[in-house]
Amino acid sequence: FLPLQGHVVRNWKVRWFVLLQDKLLYYKIEGGKKEPSPKGRILLDGCTITCPCLEYENRPLLIKLKTKTNTDYFLECCSREERDSWALDITGAIHAGHPVQVQELHRMKNSFKLLENISLHDIVERMCDSSTGIKLTRNLDQGNRYKETFTGSALVDWLISNSFAVSRFEAVTLASMLMDENFIRPVGVRSTEAMRSSDPSEKFLDDSTALYMFAESSKKNTSSKEDVHFNISELSGKIVKQGFLVKQGHKRKNWKVRKFVLRADPAFLHYYDPTKEENKPVGGFSLRGCLVSALEDNGVPAGVKGNVQGNLFKIITKNDIHYYIQASSKAERVQWIEAIKPLT
């Protein structure tokens, strides 16, 4: 499942994608089941791919495909790892007839030199630009609220999209230079601990949970958890697993694709509407005292409505609320159950 932006009405719809050798098919989900015929197709011959694509600041995990007829497709993934995996596979399909180019995709450069006409100071000035610079956000780490920060993976994405680096390896090297010259500083536990690493290649983290900020802002931009005016404790746990699943509604009993995020310490499972711009959960619950189990695929179990695809599992909360969820495959269902069980 990937959210796709429409061409006529510029809204977002979640579709089921299938990558073939020369095309990318996408299907509509109705009543909890994939329709037999594709809703559309993206022909990959002559396509160009942009990843990371930073055209939408509220959607940092986009892939942009431009066909040879100049039609733009925007696809959103639920994690950086998933985005990079899709981008690599799609790029491989685009260049399937050119094995040398495919090999280049998998080859990591061993050295990196800053362009002669670019200085680190120039890069920082570009990063600070109010319209094209890196997006600064508030983040929570170990009970502390940090203002005007950015994550390690966001900086890597920005450096690549602005042509300061051509690979994630180069971007990490460049970010490490910025940190060594005290242009940026780590904040929070993960990035600060990494900076103390004896291995130079591990001092900067290409990670969505590692926080950084501009060095001159570090002292004035931290505040204690008492300053937080909304309940964020259940969203502060470490992300264990995330992905798209299909969930049955409680009232209308219809099926909707949701982005699920599983967190530990505290153990919560939240779900988001991937078609909305706001990155806020539309629901969630504590996993303490929950029961989770797979449902048989031979027939529709009691409590489940619609002609569903299969690969169902059920979570019963300690308040006896039943959640019916579909995974995209049996293997994915097993992975989710095994990830949830230790947290109950």
Query: What string of DSSP letters covers 92-161?
Result: HHHTTT-HHHHHHHTPPPS-----TT--HHHHHHHHT-TTTSPPPEEEEETTEEEEEEEEHHHHHHHHHH
What is the DSSP code (8-state) at residue 64? Answer: E
For residue 197 the two structure tokens come to 């690493």
Kindly state the average pLDDT of the residues 79-103: 78
Identify the structural domains of the chain with CATH numbers, from first to last.
15-109 (2.30.29.30), 120-214 (1.10.10.10), 234-341 (2.30.29.30)
Q: Return the percentage of the chain with pLDDT > 90, whole number.
A: 36
221 vs 214: CA distance, rounded Å: 10
Q: What is the pLDDT of residue 231?
A: 53
256 vs 271: CA distance, rounded Å: 11
Q: Is the pLDDT of residue 229 over 80?
A: no
In terms of pTM, does the model score above 0.95?
no
Inter-residue contact 74 to 3 (CB < 8 Å): no
Q: What is the pLDDT of residue 269?
A: 94
51 vs 63: CA distance, rounded Å: 5
Q: Is the pLDDT of residue 265 over 60?
A: yes
pLDDT tens digit sequence for 15-73: 999 999 889 999 998 877 888 899 899 999 889 999 888 888 778 889 999 998 888 99
Kindly state the average pLDDT of the residues 143-159: 88
